[in-house]
Structure formats: structure tokens, C-alpha cells
Structure 1
Amino acid sequence: MEQLQLVKELQEANVGKVLPSEPLANHTTMKIGGPADILVEPSNLAMLQETMKIIHQHQSKWTAIGRGSNLLVSDKGIEGVVIKLGNGMDDLEVEGNEVKVGGGYSLIKLVTIISKKGLTGLEFAAGIPGTVGGAVYMNAGAHGSDMSKVLKKAHVLFEDGEMAWLTPEELKFSYRTSLLQKERPGICLEAVLNVEEGNREDVVSTLQKNKDYRRNTQPFNYPCAGSIFRNPLPEYAGALIEKAGLKGYTIGGAKVSEMHANFIVNDNGAKAQDVLDLIAHIKKTVLELYNVQLETEVEIIGRK
């Protein structure tokens, strides 16, 4: 009854799309995940604030997603409201060496547009799936750089409804983590990024090389969530998994990619449990063989 009332209020407030019992397999790059009790896709920032206000009035749980990359959603789905940042949360302004961009903006699209303008600094993100908000949330990176190196400030909505602009220092960035993940859960609504003028041909060339590298070494032709494990530097997770002989290892419909061992692909109608069992097997094997404890980079969310 409480859920029906919440759906009714969200719909009456015209906050955007409101979808009860929406399968999250439709909203993740791994094509895995049970239903969200309610999925809301706000039409703009004001509608997101209204959504959060209604959620708080009902004391409902909530989770934010972007394009659904770097996510493994439970087969039992997610309790409460799932807020999807996308259409309506994807404005873009470029002024001189400063880029102001909505949290729902595609990171790949942003990098391509900025590079074509001859602006440099974001080439590292070529081919990283997901949104700008998600990239800030997890301090996404590649090729020796990450979001902490280019972010000037981020506009954040915390779960208690407070909004604030935070600097990289305040976001407490470290390797693939930020304040927003556990210490103080929140959503990156907008980001202001620093870029520099460069030689357009050089910038586009670097961008293309980075895209080609990803295309040639990572299995994005299959449903997947990106890297499964953080690199236990100076070692690399993919190299350890490959050395352990686990490339191509399968549980249910989930398989360790034969192209890159730090990727698990949805090879044949995989369930989240298949992926979780495969993650557990990889961790156990690598620990036994090399005494290295692998930690997941992919975010595992939803009902246990």
C-alpha cells in the first residue's frame, strides 16, 4: 500500500518517468538485475529535488544509477526508489577552458565533443562507458589519469536532501573511490571540469588511440560491467586471473572474458548469482595461488 501511494505521489508531481516494478536488466550494461520497486527518471534538476523530497516524506530507501555500467544488480532487484540520471540531466556548457556538464551526460560523448574542439585533458576517458556523474562518484580513470585530475568542483545532492558544491579535496578521491560511495552517500548532479587548449589533431589522435586500445583489448561487444576487480598494484588483476588459467571459465551464463580476464561477460542469459559465484571462485583461486586478495571494483547492489 505504501509503495502504491509513493508511486501515485511521484506521478502526480510530474517528476518525469515513474515505472513501478521495472526490470533493471533493461538499465544496466551487463543486462542483469531484478526489478526496482520504483524507477524514476527525473526530467530536470528541479524534478530530481522534488523526487527526493517525496522519497524523504515516505522515508523510502533510494539508489541512483546512470547508464548502469560498473553495476551488478541482484536478481532480487532493489528496494525502494531507483533514480536514473539521464535525459534532462545532461546539459553541457563549454566556456574557454571550463566545461560545465550534467551528471547524466554520457562520458564517451563528452570526451568526443571536447576533443573535437581541440581541448585536452579528457582523452583518458575515451571508451569509458557511463555518465559523468557516475565517473565522479567512482573516480573513473584509465591511461594514468582519472576524474580527480580534471575536476574543479562537483554539485552534489546528499541523501538527506542537502546540496553542495564540493572540491576534489572535499570529495576525498582515491583509487576508484570517493566520499559519495560509502562515507556520505550522494549523487553528482553536475561537474565543472578543467581542460586546456591543445593541438586538435594531436588530441583527436590520442583519443582515437585510447578508443582503439579499449576496442581491441576489452570485450564491449558482450554485455559486461567493465573491470570487475581493482588492480592490486603493482600487480594487475587481469594478469593474475589469466595466469591462474581462468580465461574462459564459466559458471551458469557468466564467463571470464577470453579477451581480458578482468572482465566477466554475460555470455548466455547470466543471472547475478552466476556472476557472484564466478567472482568468489576467482578470488579464492588467486588468493590460493598468489596470496593476493582481490577486491571488487564493480558495485554490487540490491536485495541480498
Structure 2
Amino acid sequence: MDKKTVEQDLLDIFSRKEEVKIDEDLSTYTFTHTGGKADLFVTPSTYEEVGQLIAYAYKKEMPVTYLGRGSNLIVRDGGIRGLVIHCGRMNQITSAGESIIAQSGASIIDVSRFALAHERTGLEFACGIPGSVGGALYMNAGAYGGETADVLRQAVVVDAKGKILTLCGDELDMGYRHSAISKKGYLALEGTFHLKKGDPKKIKAEMDRLTALRELKQPLEYPSCGSVFKRPPGYFAGKLIQDSGLQGTRIGGVEVSKKHAGFMVNVDHGTASDYIRLIKHVQQTVKKKFGVDLETEVKIIGEKLQE
């Protein structure tokens, strides 16, 4: 792939040159502060631009990767080949009757705050989730007993050929940490959340309570990829890791959090390779001690660093 040729083709789609970058460092776009470079990095502003980008990539048989806020993500140190689409510019949040419509690049925390300002209840659980709306739709993000599926009415997505679709109800196929969006490889563009009228004082009190819990239990003082493992049936991942004596275990600059064993934190210039090696070590140790397979919740993408 000739990056300069592709760059010029992409500039024909965009009106702003700054939206197309070559060899962009992805470590600045992930919560772990790790990751290699993207061959081509684009930040579209409209759904039409996204559709054109994906249609172009499909025609050229070019791999495409979608990147949100990078909160539950590890990008390998070798970076990402092909085209990386970052939706951060598409971040509008609006209200329509009992619904709130949020673009995929908006922070789900900001959507929960918008709901509070409009006296709508149902998104309190999301007040501490650091990801984007797109990420929340992709993995059916949840916390403290609530999840995206509880309030999501419909989603606007784009498929692998650049066609824009609207998914509703059962078409969304929302389950524990998965959705039709992730299963079919769609890119989420927008979510419509149906929320009930609520007492703003009670809504704020619940958000304050959940925020305090998060600050008390989670290692927010360090870069991390959030909750590393899914909850195994009948167990809690953090408890299994803690009971395996793994808290404080470090590989390179990455450590199993001493504050919450379900998190891994970048304490000293860690790399994506450090994260991946530590994840494998934890999985092997828990399997040996308890016979339980820990499945990653964090998404790991990109290429290994070439020696």
C-alpha cells in the first residue's frame, strides 16, 4: 500500500487536510498510553464521510479499524495496518421527547450528565464508564447492575461496504459484553436512549454514590484498560485473581492493581506487550489454581512489534 497515494485519495473525501494523518502514534488515543502507529488515521465529521471512507477501503481491499476513546482497548506495539477511523469529532448529544440521541464519539459519561440535566433517569450506571457511546453500543457496556441494553432503543451503524443501517429491538442482539454491532463488524454512528422522567435530586444522588464507589475501588490514579476480564459464570474475576496471590504482580511496567485485582495499571512506562504478557500470566495462574478460564473483556488489536 502506497500511503501517499491513499492519503491523496482520502483528501478528496475530506474538506480539511488535518483530518488525514500518516503514521499517527496511537498511544495518545488509548487509556493505557500504549500502542504503535496507524498507517493512515482519519477523523471524519459526518456519517456520509464515514460511509465514503469505508466504501473506499472496501473497494481497495484495505483493512479498516474503528477507534473510539480507547478505554477498554490494547493496541499492540506494532501498530495497525490499513485505515484507522477515529470518531471523536462526531460527539453531539441532543434530546427528542423522552429520548436522548448521542453520536458515537460522545463520552457515555457526558450522555449520563446530559440525561441528568434533562431530568431523565436510566443512565446513572454510566456516570463512571470512561468509554464512548460507540464503545458502549459495541460491547453493551455496563456497571453497577445496569447496562446499555436496558435503555438503548435503536442504533445507527455502517456496515463493511459503507452502507448506513438502523438497528432496533432484537436486531441489536444485546448480551453480556456483546451486540450485533460487534458480531457483524459494524461501526456504530449513533445511539438513541429511551429514558424515563426522573427526580433530578435522586438522579444526582445516585450518580454521586456510584462515582464515590468507583473512586474508592478502582485505580483511577494510573493509566489502565479498565476491567480486563469478563465475569466467569459463578465467579468474580477480580476475586479469583486476588485469591491467586497475583495483586502487585508486575511484568515490565504493567502491574495487577493492588487496589482492584480486576484491573492492570501502567505504573512505569509499560508497553502493550507488557499488558499482553501479564494477561496471559494471570490466565494461566488462575486456570492452574481454580480450573477457571478467564476470558478477556478488553479488546486487543493491531500487530506485534517486528524484531
Shorter-chain TM-score bucket reads over 0.9
Q: What TM-score does the superposition give when structure 1 sets the normalisation length? A: 0.96
Aligned residue for 2:234, secondary structure, equals coil
Letter in 1 for 2:40: I
Give yes or no for contact 2:104–2:191 (8 Å, CA) kept in 1. yes
Aligned residue for 1:53, secondary structure, equals helix
Q: 2:42 aligns with which of 30, 40, 43?
A: 40
Residue 6 of structure 2 is matched in structure 1 by 6
Distance in 1, Cα, partners of 2:153 & 2:82? 33
**CA gap 1:15/1:217 in 2 versus in 1, 3 angstroms:** farther
Question: Offset of 1:95 from its aligned partner?
Answer: 2.0
Residue 146 of structure 1 is matched in structure 2 by 147
Give yes or no for contact 1:15–1:48 (8 Å, CA) kept in 2. no
Aligned residue for 1:220, secondary structure, equals coil
Which residues in structure 2 correspond to 1:81-230 (within 5 Å)? 81-87=83-89, 89-181=90-182, 183-230=183-230
Residue 23 of structure 2 is matched in structure 1 by 21
Question: Offset of 1:48 from its aligned partner?
Answer: 1.6
Question: Offset of 1:220 from its aligned partner?
Answer: 1.9
Instruction: Kindly report structure 1 stretches of 4+ aligned residues shifted beyond 3 Å.
Output: none
Deviations 1:172-217, CA, capped at 9 Å, x for gaps:
1111111222x31011101111100011100010011111111111
Question: Unpaired runs of 5+ in structure 1?
Answer: none
Question: Offset of 1:3 from its aligned partner?
Answer: 2.2
Letter in 2 for 1:144: G
Distance in 1, Cα, partners of 2:63 & 2:2? 13
Residue 232 of structure 1 is matched in structure 2 by 232
**CA gap 1:144/1:199 in 2 versus in 1, 3 angstroms:** same
Give yes or no for contact 1:15–1:47 (8 Å, CA) kept in 2. no
Identity %: 37
Distance in 1, Cα, partners of 2:192 & 2:110? 16
Question: Offset of 1:52 from its aligned partner?
Answer: 1.8
Give yes or no for contact 1:6–1:58 (8 Å, CA) kept in 2. no
Give yes or no for contact 2:128–2:211 (8 Å, CA) kept in 1. yes
Give yes or no for contact 1:10–1:51 (8 Å, CA) kept in 2. yes
**CA gap 1:100/1:278 in 2 versus in 1, 3 angstroms:** same
Aligned residue for 2:188, secondary structure, equals strand
Question: Offset of 1:63 from its aligned partner?
Answer: 0.6
Residue 73 of structure 2 is matched in structure 1 by 71
Distance in 2, Cα, partners of 1:54 & 1:162? 12
Of 45-54 and 184-193, the range deviating more from structure 2: 45-54
Question: Offset of 1:15 from its aligned partner?
Answer: 5.5
Q: May I ask how many residue pairs the two structures share in their alignment? A: 302
Give yes or no for contact 1:15–1:42 (8 Å, CA) kept in 2. no
Q: What TM-score does the superposition give when structure 2 sets the normalisation length? A: 0.95
Question: Offset of 1:162 from its aligned partner?
Answer: 2.0
Give yes or no for contact 1:148–1:168 (8 Å, CA) kept in 2. no
Aligned residue for 1:173, secondary structure, equals coil
Give yes or no for contact 2:55–2:160 (8 Å, CA) kept in 1. no
Deviations 1:6-42, CA, capped at 9 Å, x for gaps:
1111123226511100111011111110001111011
Give yes or no for contact 1:99–1:193 (8 Å, CA) kept in 2. yes
Letter in 2 for 1:219: P
Give yes or no for contact 1:78–1:303 (8 Å, CA) kept in 2. yes
**CA gap 1:15/1:66 in 2 versus in 1, 3 angstroms:** farther
Distance in 2, Cα, partners of 1:164 & 1:12? 24
